[in-house]
A and B are shown apart, each in its own frame.
Chain A
Amino acid sequence: MSGERLSEDQAAPGSPADGTAEPGPSPAGGSGRGGRTGGTRSGRRTLTEGQRSERRLALLLCAPAALVMIAVTGWPIIYSVWLSLQRYDLRFPADQEFVGLANYVEVLTSSYWWTSFGVTLLITVVSVAIELVLGMALALIMHRTIVGRGLVRTSALVPYGIVTVVAAFSWRYAWTPDTGYLANLFAPGSAPLTDQASALAIITLAEVWKTTPFMALLLMAGLALVPDDLLKAASMDGAGPWQRFIKVMVPVMKPAILVALLFRTLDAFRIFDNIYVLTSGAQDTSSVSILANTNLIQALNLGIGSTMSVLIFLSVALIAFVFVKLFGTAAPGSDTEGRR
């Protein structure tokens, strides 16, 4: 449903320039998909014998991969749900028992959990918002650069190429009092990583620095979908640069923007490495993943820790659901062809 609505959206501004849009690289492209929709519909009505056996073969060929997927993702999820219903601490093996939803009650009534949840949401919303703006700017720069294109694109991607933990350590040393250049520059005589507000700001900064290039990369793929002729036509009609951006580019890019937002929101919600290195969750800067690590890995409490993991999984699933169903993000690979 949502995929089709999207392609109609795009078809409207895109129709005058269909000829140029078609050959363009369109991984999540609307016009290419629109073209195939007709074939899909007729296929749904009349399936020949050959097509049917082809489908059976396809299912058989997919089966091993599907089984492996179930084994490596489905089973751990089911197992952690099972663990979350038990009192199970590795240090008290004798006390293991089924406790139903008691762990969920414990976690959901804990102020530590809600503090971490709030911190995670705050970091997610703020960092993704900043990344979207900066990423869009970076994408436009990378897209429009004429001189030294390769150099600009490469240097913009450097932060994304650095391992998060390594980058996080650099940030930590830079913000350490006395020895760090950023601490000496911006906060002489204080320890910014030991105060909740400033530590959260530094974590968000590190996160934005690290993943803006990823956002820019996804958005640049979207920019490539915007036909030049369309922009020229808008220009002829008297649209200024801002109007061209808001009224032409953004609507055409919408699927790419939503995919970029979805990916980044899911990623940001699971933030772990930066916090682990920068503050290890002290001064109420734990994200839900840090809290789950503390309880599951360090305290060896499989019951409570798994409960948190399941809750994080549900939160991530909810975010994905909201994006896909309400905002109409087309998940990669979910084009109409796959649904027949």
Chain B
Amino acid sequence: MGRPAMRARPGRAAAAMGVALLAIPLAACGADQQGITVNLYYAPEDGLETVVENCNQRAAGRYQIVYNKLPRGADDQRLQMVRRLAAEDRDMDVLGLDLMWTQEFAGAEWIQEWTGEHRAEAEEGTLEGPLESARYEDRLYAAPKNTNVQLLWYRTDLVDEPPETWDDMMEAAQELKDAGDPHTILITGAQYEGLVVHYNSITASAGGHMLSEDGLRAEFDEGAVRALQVLRDFATSGLAHPGLTNAMEDDARLAFQTGNAAFQINWPFVYAAMQAETPELAQNVGWAPYPGVEPGSPSRSTIGGYNLAVSTYSEHPDEAFDAALCLRNAENQKFSAINSGVPPTIESVYDEPEMLEAYPMKDAILESVQNAANRPSTPAYQNVSTVLSHTLSPPSAIDPERTAEELRVSVQKALESKGVLP
């Protein structure tokens, strides 16, 4: 439309530009006449296309969900969404958020609050831990799509009873070491979110808190100091894998698959991988909840997972809420759990008969999610995490009291977005 006008004499260039600018939104509107498009932005997930297809059929022409794949890296996913939302991009409707970004997006008012029927449907039958991760200031801002939780994986041929606490685990490993058996303990100890997750789980298990209830002050109470001590003791015990400070999820998994380790704390995906790659080893692997700190008090493991939110700038919010609810309904969660390996957030799905085959450890997962610890709830979580991973790495250099004092200052600054981030 704009082109013939653009060829006009230079004197009319301004007028032509005006026509061209007017023509662009008109052209965009033309595409909408075939029906409403709901743009879903989500990380690459095998099998999500089928779920989207199911929901499109269910919508029966009211809207069409288009699955736009975000980059693979978590940081890159967040960056793309943040950049576009900061510019008030109207082409994003449903957003797949790692649960740790939910408060950040809600605080910046980039996603809409869930109210009324939508809220009731999102909350119905959903586990409390994942639901808590979707709240900000007591309001619901997302619907949990899937959850995830770390378990303790141990060698049943080396260890009779799974240890209940970190101290028990180190004691058992020490005995194995003295006997000359494989004894190392693997955790994700590199300088990244994985290390922060462990610190958060241990702190919660010790009954401690990093932040005050309202998320505005850095507390690092007694339990948080105790957690620093546990991490330090573990790192200096000589029982951790030598590659501790470089290990991310896959490094820990691969090291465990060599058969030279006795314990591994990792997400459930490692079991499927073990069965595929080292089936003999998988036969001798058991699972248990995340180790606790004090004997007798249960551990609280940090949950992961993804939430679905609706962008503030969406032009079709009603359809977007509807689409989000469909993508995470019980039927589709079951499909994703079995085909994409992501544990469900709706409790009843765990009772489905097909679940046991795909998740032999489903009871342990469900139990852990029921006792879950969430990451500190603050819009500045990204800052807090960056400061934490920088300060906690390497764990062997932790000096509990001094490190806690350091964290109280640097995390406080991070909360207020005042300090420089490393």
Contacts and interface: CB of A to CB of B under 8 A. Distances in A.
Contacts of B422: 112, 286, 291, 294
B319 interface: no
A89 B420 contact: no
B421 to A, nearest CB: 5
B386 interface: yes
B205 interface: no
A185 to B, nearest CB: 20
Contacts of A300: 82, 86
Contacts, number: 62
Interface string A69-111: 0000000000000000001011111000000000000110010
Contact-residue bracket for chain B: 20 to 34
Given A90-B86, A91-B104, A106 B75 contact: no
A67 to B, nearest CB: 15
A191 interface: yes
A109 to B, nearest CB: 9
Nearest to B83: A297
Interface stretch (B160-168, B222-230, B375-383): B375-383
A191 B379 CA distance: 35
A299 B383 contact: yes
Contact of A297 (B79, B108, B245, B383): B79
A87 B418 contact: yes
A257 B191 CA distance: 42
Contacts of A173: none
Contacts of A217: none
B235 to A, nearest CB: 16
A301 B387 CA distance: 15
A90 B109 CA distance: 10
B246 interface: yes
A37 interface: no
Contacts of A106: 418-420
A93 B245 CA distance: 37
A300 B421 CA distance: 11
Contacts of A299: 382-383, 386, 417, 421
A294 B386 CA distance: 10
A194 B245 contact: yes
Contacts of B109: 93
Contacts of A295: 420-421
A113 interface: yes
Contact of A91 (B107, B246, B418, B419): B107
B421 A294 contact: yes
Nearest to B78: A298
Given A91-B108, A92-B379, A93-B109, A194 B246 contact: yes
A291 B379 contact: no
A64 to B, nearest CB: 12
A282 interface: yes
Nearest to A304: B420
A112 B417 contact: no
Contact of A282 (B107, B191, B380): B191
Interface in A189-226: 191, 194
B108 A90 contact: yes
Given A298-B382, A299-B382, A89 B75 contact: no
Contacts of A298: 75, 79, 382, 421
A107 B418 CA distance: 10
List the 7 shortest-distance A-B pairs measured between CB atoms, nearest first: A110-B420, A89-B417, A91-B108, A112-B422, A91-B379, A112-B420, A299-B421
Given A295-B420, A301-B417, 17 more contacts: A91-B104, A92-B379, A92-B380, A110-B419, A112-B421, A112-B422, A191-B243, A286-B422, A294-B421, A295-B421, A297-B79, A298-B382, A299-B386, A300-B86, A301-B421, A304-B419, A304-B420
26 contacts: A87-B418, A89-B417, A90-B86, A91-B104, A91-B108, A92-B379, A92-B380, A93-B109, A106-B418, A106-B420, A110-B419, A110-B420, A112-B422, A113-B420, A191-B243, A194-B245, A282-B191, A291-B420, A294-B421, A297-B83, A299-B382, A299-B386, A301-B417, A301-B421, A304-B418, A304-B419
